[in-house]
Chains A and B, each alone.
Chain A
Amino acid sequence: MLQEIIDVLAQYTDVPSEQINETSSLIDDLELNSFDVMTIVADFEEQYDIHIPDEQIMEFKTVADIEEYLEKNR
């Protein structure tokens, strides 16, 4: 799961996947804006066939936050 998330983020951000880990901050380390995060999450929703509420998306600060949520709710 973690590797899948990292691979998607690496494609999106130009940051090599080996430089992304659980503690990477979506905004500070990966330089994503709030709309980027929403768009990426929409990708994950499709991939895992789940719905992630808007207020939950606002809570995603790091890669680990996304991983934890997807693990629990997939």
Chain B
Amino acid sequence: MKPYGPYILPQIGSLREMTDLRVKDNPDGIAFFYTGNDGSIVTKTYRRFSKDVNAVGTYLYAHNFREGSHIALLGVNSYEWLVTFFAIANGGNVALPMDARQPIENIIKLCANGDCAALAYSEEFAAAIPAFRSNLSDIPAADARGFVDLPFTSFDEWVSEGAKMIDAGDTSFIDHKINVDDMCALVFTSGTTGIPKGVMLSQKNIAANINQACKNFVLEGNGLSPLPMHHMFGLIVGHLMVFNYNKPCYIVRNIRNLMKDIQIAKPECLFVVPMIIETFAKQFKVMAKRTGGQLTPEQVQAMTGGNLRFIICGGASLSAMYVKMFRQFGLEILNGYGITECSPVLAVNRNEDMCDGSVGPVLFGCEVRISDEGEILAKGDNVMLGYYRNPEATAEALQDGWFHTGDLGKIEDHYLFITGRTKNLIITSSGENISPEELEEKVLADPAVAEAIVYDVDDVLAVQIYPEKEAGAPAEYFQALLDRINKGEPVYRQLKKLVLRDEPFIRNSTGKIIRTQIKGDM
């Protein structure tokens, strides 16, 4: 398709500016809505959201959280989480969104590495608090001031106390002049290789990415993302971008209710990872079986709220099969590409400009180039400040203003294609570079293969295959498959060893196969 110009929205310089714009233009419009504990629909207007942020921010100031205090956020998706994130970020403090599904020992370690002074949490994680208290000496910043826990069950109290302080003339939080270049969020990456690094993001980074992404894609109805808010794709794209479009954003408080939530929210667009699309595809099949035939676009629309047109998918690569399948039902899956360090989006397919197999055109206002080695490099206001207390890793990742993504790619006809990870690159003794992902794609194209990983053993390429059980192909079938693939490859790229797996590969929380685990298997 042909490229076309950017969608035009007012540019924002900070999160506060974004909120102020919405309050000015549409104070009584719905910013967020969700299903409350009693099953009723709760709505929050832009004006309410802004007031709540100011009240909670003032409450935190009164409790001496100011001038760069680090506060961890541990919780399921909620309105309270979002307000607290803004209250921390707009007050010159730093929010540390945490993946609550990891073991408590890891969370304590990350709080220690991230110099956390306090922990805001939803009630599901209250049981973890005693472990924090008993390990306080491991978290020096929290230990120094005495541990402060901020349970979201007290959220209404924070709001009412903060509002009273504002009414009594305390405008210290509201008057705080935000330095958009200061760190406002510290996000530990859950990479599939290496140890987690703390990505430092500023308000300028986040605002820039919201501006850039809103130029590539336009939302005309409600938005919904079931992705966790601690994940920057879930937070910045799935929630804040929708807010910036001036469209109602539905908060999915528990992913297990997603199908019901979609009926309530009636979104025009979903923001998801491949795992969720796979489940949708299964749901469609169930519906087809129950209705005794071929599923129609109308039935799919009825299952998905009636307004769904787009599904923006990121986080990991998605099989092209799903794009074609969903298109039959009138749903366009727009694959995108991002990385936490770029706040997070770099490219996404557009409403009227898409190419299957690609992650779309690069965002307006963001520079992307491919290095001589094939690595994707990015430059722009959305690129992080650096890694927290890790100058070596920062210097390695940021060179001459270009962020080295570690991903391999190519740009063809203005579309970005991801071809692999530099960290996964196999370099043979003869100096040949092989991207395992390119070979895996060829193996995965066979319907008898469910999952495949290519790696090297003593300078020989091997492939582990987890077969598609339904296909029930015998071992010889897979050897014949490799022989066919190898015919078209130079000798150094030929797959010489085959291992058939009995179990699927282990994946991380965003659905990516953990390659280091496979190396361990060997």
* Residues of chain A having any CB pair with chain B under 8 Å: 11-15, 27-29, 31, 33-36, 38-39, 41-42, 54, 57
Contacts and interface: CB of A to CB of B under 8 A. Distances in A.
B289 A38 contact: no
Contacts of B282: 12-13, 36
B279 A35 contact: yes
A-side binding surface: helix, strand, loop or mixed? helix
Contact of A54 (B124, B278, B290, B511): B124
B259 A39 contact: yes
Interface string B57-81: 0000000000000000000000000
A39 B279 contact: yes
A57 B124 CA distance: 14
30 contacts: A11-B285, A11-B290, A12-B282, A13-B282, A14-B285, A14-B470, A27-B504, A28-B502, A31-B450, A31-B469, A31-B504, A33-B275, A33-B278, A33-B279, A33-B511, A34-B275, A35-B255, A35-B275, A36-B278, A36-B282, A39-B259, A39-B279, A41-B256, A42-B256, A42-B259, A42-B260, A54-B124, A54-B254, A54-B256, A57-B256
Interface centre among A12, A33, A35, A42 (most CB of B within 10 A): A35
Given A31-B469, A39-B283, 6 more contacts: A11-B289, A35-B279, A38-B256, A39-B256, A39-B258, A41-B256
A12 B503 CA distance: 20
A27 B282 CA distance: 14
B178 to A, nearest CB: 37
Contacts of B260: 42
Interface string B285-318: 1100110000000000000000000000000000
A13 B282 CA distance: 7
A30 to B, nearest CB: 9
A14 B288 CA distance: 12
Given A14-B470, A39-B258, A28 B503 contact: yes
Contacts of A38: 255-256
Nearest to B502: A28
Given A12-B286, A14-B470, A54-B254, A36 B279 contact: yes
A38 B282 CA distance: 13
A39 B257 CA distance: 7
A42 B254 CA distance: 11
Nearest to B256: A38
A13 B289 CA distance: 11
Contacts of A29: 469
Interface centre among A12, A29, A33, A38 (most CB of B within 10 A): A33
B304 to A, nearest CB: 14
Contacts of A13: 282
Interface in B242-301: 254-260, 275-276, 278-279, 282-283, 285-286, 289-290
A32 to B, nearest CB: 8
Top 6 closest pairs, chain A to chain B, by CB: A38-B256, A11-B286, A35-B279, A42-B256, A36-B279, A11-B289
Nearest to A46: B260
B17 to A, nearest CB: 36
B276 A35 contact: yes
Nearest to A57: B256
B333 to A, nearest CB: 17
Nearest to A10: B289
A41 B290 CA distance: 18
A38 B124 CA distance: 17
Contacts of A34: 275
Contacts of B276: 35
Nearest to B276: A35
Nearest to A41: B256
A12 to B, nearest CB: 6
Contacts of B254: 54
Interface centre among A27, A29, A31, A41 (most CB of B within 10 A): A31
Interface string B498-522: 0000111000000100000000000
Nearest to A45: B256
Contacts of A54: 124, 254, 256
Contacts of B511: 33
Contact of A28 (B255, B278, B290, B504): B504
A14 B504 CA distance: 17
A57 B258 CA distance: 16
Contacts of A39: 256, 258-259, 279, 283
Nearest to A31: B469
